Amino acid sequence: MKKTSTRLADGRELLYYDSRDDAVRDAVDLRPLEAVSTTAEIRHDELLGDRVAIASHRQGRIYHPPADECPLCPSRDGRLSEIPAADYDVAVFENRFPSLAGDSGRCEVVCFTSDHDASFADLTEEQAGLVLEAWTDRTAELAELPQVKQVFCFENRGAEIGVTLGHPHGQIYGYPFVTPRTELMLRSLAAHRAATGGNLFDDLVRREREEGARVVLEGEHWIAFVPYAAHWPYEVHLHPKRRVPDLRALDDAARTEFPRIYLELLRRFDRIFGPGEPPTPYIAAWHQAPFEGEGRDAFGLHLELFTIRRTSGKLKFLAGSESGMSVFINDVPPEAAAMRLREVASE
């Protein structure tokens, strides 16, 4: 992998990740951009203990532009975009409309490919491996920022999820605090250790392998299963078999196998509802340990992949119980979801 760092016209950082060592990335951003001005701030909800990012400047962000005006496509034929190069493998840049900025953290955009009409599932194993290297490198770089306590790499795919740009891309958030979801996991880890002396992540993976009913896909170094208490209609958790706290700690064997396993999962998601159905909307979320604090070494890196589509033409909405009380009601039994995801395996 070759990494090239440069700056956009307004001073934001842009990084190219190339599979070829001889790639040259010297194109200059010629747009007349003013420096980015944000209103991002973090407020504390005293009742729930949550933190909320207030970012009113995001109201003006680009919303579903036509393909020939996509800001994530390369700059070609006189049309200037967020990426000055005429082509790229993987590109990462600071978000122009960040939810977190400055002392409140950092937000980055990850463009998986220059092909506007592709999806992550269309990538080759080599391309997917390069994205993994980019995620890992960004985790390592953001870990050095004093204001960043935890890094979250994720992809939102599909208009139903709320994606505003159709180009295949994800985001990386560097939070200035440990997220509520992670704090819950850390508390569960501590309680499990106090009760059993074991590690909760290890024991969950062991149970799923032994029971087998919810296992979707298993390789030598990774295992994917529908969790016993899945919140979403089709939800898969992907774990490395050797527990590690974050992407930086994956060994070479796990890195090599990941693209094949992950691409197969994404392709199965697009086949869940049968031929002729539109691409399945999904969220793919990497859960990594915070950089500091008790419980880091016990945490298990994993990816959670889920869709809000519950059946053909119908979405799972967060209604009263989910939105009001955080009590999920799932219409699809996890065992049935796992069976369906095994049925649609690639031949």
Name the pTM for this structure.
0.95
Shared domain check, 121 and 261: no
Number of domains in the chain: 2
Shared domain check, 200 and 233: yes
Confidence of residue 65 (pLDDT cuts 50, 70, 90): confident
Domain limit, last residue, from 175, 207, 241: 175
Q: Check pLDDT > 80 for residue 106.
A: yes
Confidence of residue 227 (pLDDT cuts 50, 70, 90): very high
Q: How far apart are CA 7 and CA 25, in angstroms?
A: 11
Query: How high is the pLDDT of residue 59?
Result: 62
φ/ψ region of 97 (left if φ > 0, alpha if ψ in -120 to 50, else beta) reads beta
What range defines the domain where residue 158 resides?
Answer: 2-175
Shared domain check, 321 and 298: yes
- CA 126 to each of CA 89, 181, 259: distance values in angstroms, whole numbers, following the listed order: 10, 32, 8
Domain limit, last residue, from 145, 160, 175: 175
Q: What is the DSSP string of 186-209?
A: HHHHHHHHHHHSS-HHHHHHHHHH
Shared domain check, 140 and 81: yes
Shared domain check, 260 and 156: no
Mean pLDDT of the chain: 94
- State the greatest distance between any 2 C-alpha atoms of the chain, in Å, as a whole number: 64
Q: What is the pLDDT of residues 78-105, one digit of tens each?
A: 899 999 999 999 999 999 989 998 889 9
Confidence of residue 337 (pLDDT cuts 50, 70, 90): very high
Shared domain check, 192 and 96: no
Q: Looking at 44, 64, 167, 169, which residue is catalytic?
A: 169
Domain limit, last residue, from 115, 147, 175: 175
- CA 184 to each of CA 180, 291, 295: distance values in angstroms, whole numbers, following the listed order: 6, 16, 12
Shared domain check, 184 and 152: no
- CA 139 to each of CA 2, 129, 148, 289, 295: distance values in angstroms, whole numbers, following the listed order: 17, 15, 10, 11, 19
Q: What is the pLDDT of residues 151-207, one digit of tens each?
A: 999 999 998 998 989 999 999 999 999 999 999 999 999 999 999 999 999 999 999
Shared domain check, 47 and 10: yes
Shared domain check, 328 and 201: yes
Active site residue 169: yes
Q: Check pLDDT > 60 for residue 63.
A: no
Which CATH number belongs to the domain containing residue 276 in this structure? Answer: 3.30.428.10
Structure tokens, 22: 């001889």
Q: Check pLDDT > 70 for residue 134.
A: yes
Other C-beta atoms within 10 Å of 185: how many? 20
End-to-end alpha carbon distance in the chain: 31
What backbone torsions phi and psi does residue 291 show, to the nearest 5 degrees?
-75, -20
